[in-house]
Chain A
Amino acid sequence: MNESPVRLIGVTRRFGDTVALERVSLDIRAGSSVALVGPNGSGKSTLLGLLAGLATPDGGAIELGTAAGRAARVGVVHQRSALDPILTVRENLALHAGLCGLKRSASRERIRALAQRVGLTDRLHDRVSTLSGGLARRCDLARALLHEPGVLLLDEPTAGLDAASRRAFVELLDAERRERSMTVIHATHHADEAEWADRVVMLDRGRISADAPPAEMLAPLGERVVEAPGEPGASVGLLERMGLEPFATAHGAIARVTPGVDLAALLESGHEIRVRRPTLDDVQAVRLASDAERVS
């Protein structure tokens, strides 16, 4: 029995002089969900591209298999929609069913069932160019599920969607994963999307900087953090004056709530701060700050 249908062994990928991935090794359990997070250029899309077979590593090996030991079927939802806007939803799905080698009768049935699952039954005869961003992404998901893949790869599938569409997409994806027992590898910029995964793999400059379940990754930040939104430098200064140990983030600064911190007094200080649950974005900010400190 193969417990790890997806395995990367010391995978390296270069683009000219740039090392996009450096000796990355990963074992991913069958039926689990893994979120790949990291800043732009950290190697998330490169890793997914290698798994999808769009490129091959310069070093190391990639193994894709099923629990039964056969080659895994892989479905991919790309960062940009892989649908032809001039074709209808049904035509696009039929096209991809053909690419997956499905017989016409099986493809018709699969398209009908999937359209129902993703809420596109009423739009099957509409051209993809007329769909909203959220619906187009659902159609992309249906396309990737047509051949019932054992491994589903998603490269920032919710980029550009509003919060409601994003949530709807992630809920749909989670339901599909549970029902089909698929292995899901999902690159995302959104911390809330990564938190539903069984495991979070953080990439930084082509290397794995952290690899743990979300709860374990969040644990060092405690139950709550104080956030000061605004220009990061000024926000760090503000939290320091409050006696905290801040870390700069993309939108300001955060600090752990350590024992002895008088939260009520901080909130009444009149400064624009808030207390909230920590997120994986915070974990990433703290890690980047710690790395920078180590380097300096």
Chain B
Amino acid sequence: MTAFAVLLWREVLGFVRRPSRVVATLGTPALVWVFLASGFAGAQTPGGESFGVYAAPGVALLVAVFGGLLAGMGLIQDRRDGFLAGVLASPAPRWSIAGAKVAAATLLAAAQGLLILLAIPLAGGLLTVGGVTLASGALLFASAGVCGLSLAAASRIESPQGFHGVMNLLIMPMWLLSGALTPLDDAHPVFRALAAANPLRWGHEAMLGALRIDNAGALAWVVAAAFAGLGIGAAMLAIGRPARGRAKARR
């Protein structure tokens, strides 16, 4: 097995064997969804569907955000436990170490977010295979962006508290300004401007479009894909870069 494959396998196995991580990633967003769906049951939505259906893509995005946070915390834990030093000192290329970390975090976050999307019929919505497939793509982009940024930040921040603080300050406002809870068309111009610059908003819009809950243009997909590229690139640079030109083997 290649270094990439074994590290991916380790991340997935570690996730499965830690049920607390599944609960932490999926449990809170699921509860948020249930509360929102019941609390705003009478709220008006752009397409006239129930609020539970409207909120589902936003909650799937929240799952991706939590997945990203946990991936970053996992990296800090690996560094503290000594596991990361063992991996970095191995002959495995750094790009494969960074790539496996991002790929595993993205796949796990997107897979859990997909469970929320698949539960849309419970809120009275309709799903099509094409719609779910497209929405999964948008979710994958958003997960890659969030997980990549989270891993890049975690590779530079020593303490879990510091990491949590920084990510809460950065990612949670991004989620709130994504339109996950409410359409932003009538929001204050400042918030609309901030939302326009927020890549998660475009990922969310792409999901809404894919599921035919709201309209989404090509721009939403382009920005969502660019955000994924940005996250992956940041993680590859932060984790994948050798420590200032690794000791040379010469002769």
The proximity string for B residues 74-88 relative to A, scoring 1 for CB distances below 8 Å and 0 otherwise, is 000000011101111
Residues of A contacting B81 in the complex (Cβ-Cβ under 8 angstroms) = 80-81, 84-85
Interface residues of A in 76-104 (CB under 8 A from B): 76, 78-87, 91, 94-101, 104
Residue A52 lies at the interface, judged by CB distance under 8 Å to chain B: yes
Most B CB within 10 A of own CB, among A53, A87, A96, A101: A53
B91 touches A73 (CB 8 A): yes
Interface residues of B in 60-95 (CB under 8 A from A): 81-83, 85-92
Partner of A98, one of B5, B246, B247, B248: B5
Interface residues of A in 26-81 (CB under 8 A from B): 50-57, 61-65, 69-74, 76, 78-81
Residue A147 lies at the interface, judged by CB distance under 8 Å to chain B: yes
Residues of B contacting A62 in the complex (Cβ-Cβ under 8 angstroms) = 247-248
A99 touches B83 (CB 8 A): no
Known contacts A69-B251, A101-B91; A82 and B246 CB within 8 A of each other: no
Known contacts A53-B243, A56-B245, A62-B247; A80 and B82 CB within 8 A of each other: yes
Residue B230 lies at the interface, judged by CB distance under 8 Å to chain A: no
CA distance A65 to B251 in the complex (A): 6
Known contacts A63-B250, A91-B13, A98-B2; A76 and B89 CB within 8 A of each other: yes
A84 touches B244 (CB 8 A): no
Q: How large is the interface on A (under 10, 10 to 19, 20 to 34, 35 or more residues)?
A: 35 or more
Known contacts A72-B249, A87-B14; A98 and B86 CB within 8 A of each other: no
Instruction: Give the residue name and chain of the B residue nearest to A48 (CB).
Output: B89
A53 touches B85 (CB 8 A): no
Known contacts A55-B243, A84-B14; A78 and B91 CB within 8 A of each other: no
The proximity string for B residues 227-251 relative to A, scoring 1 for CB distances below 8 Å and 0 otherwise, is 0000000000000001111111111
A65 touches B2 (CB 8 A): no
Instruction: Give the residue name and chain of the A residue nearest to B86 (CB).
Output: A82
Residue B18 lies at the interface, judged by CB distance under 8 Å to chain A: yes
Residue B7 lies at the interface, judged by CB distance under 8 Å to chain A: yes
Residue A143 lies at the interface, judged by CB distance under 8 Å to chain B: yes
Residues of A contacting B89 in the complex (Cβ-Cβ under 8 angstroms) = 52-54, 74, 76, 78, 82
A4 smallest CB distance to B (angstroms)? 10
Residue B226 lies at the interface, judged by CB distance under 8 Å to chain A: no
CA distance A78 to B251 in the complex (A): 26
Residue A2 lies at the interface, judged by CB distance under 8 Å to chain B: yes
B86 touches A87 (CB 8 A): no
Known contacts A98-B1, A99-B87; A51 and B7 CB within 8 A of each other: no
Residues of A contacting B249 in the complex (Cβ-Cβ under 8 angstroms) = 63-65, 71-72
B82 touches A98 (CB 8 A): no
CA distance A98 to B5 in the complex (A): 8
CA distance A87 to B92 in the complex (A): 20
A101 touches B247 (CB 8 A): no
B205 smallest CB distance to A (angstroms)? 38
Residues of A within 8 A of B (CB): 2, 50-57, 61-65, 69-74, 76, 78-87, 91, 94-101, 104, 143, 147
Query: What are 23 residue pairs bridging A and B, where the CB atoms are less than 8 Å apart in the complex?
Result: A52-B89, A53-B246, A54-B89, A57-B247, A61-B250, A62-B247, A65-B251, A72-B249, A74-B89, A76-B85, A76-B86, A79-B82, A80-B85, A82-B85, A82-B89, A85-B81, A87-B14, A95-B7, A98-B2, A99-B3, A99-B6, A100-B91, A101-B2
Q: Which 6 A-B pairs have the closest CB atoms?
A: A82-B86, A98-B6, A80-B82, A71-B249, A65-B251, A99-B90
Residues of B within 8 A of A (CB): 1-3, 5-7, 9-10, 13-14, 17-18, 81-83, 85-92, 242-251
Instruction: List 9 additional contacts besides A56-B245, A96-B90; criterion CB under 8 Å.
Output: A53-B89, A53-B242, A55-B243, A74-B89, A78-B82, A86-B13, A91-B13, A99-B92, A100-B92
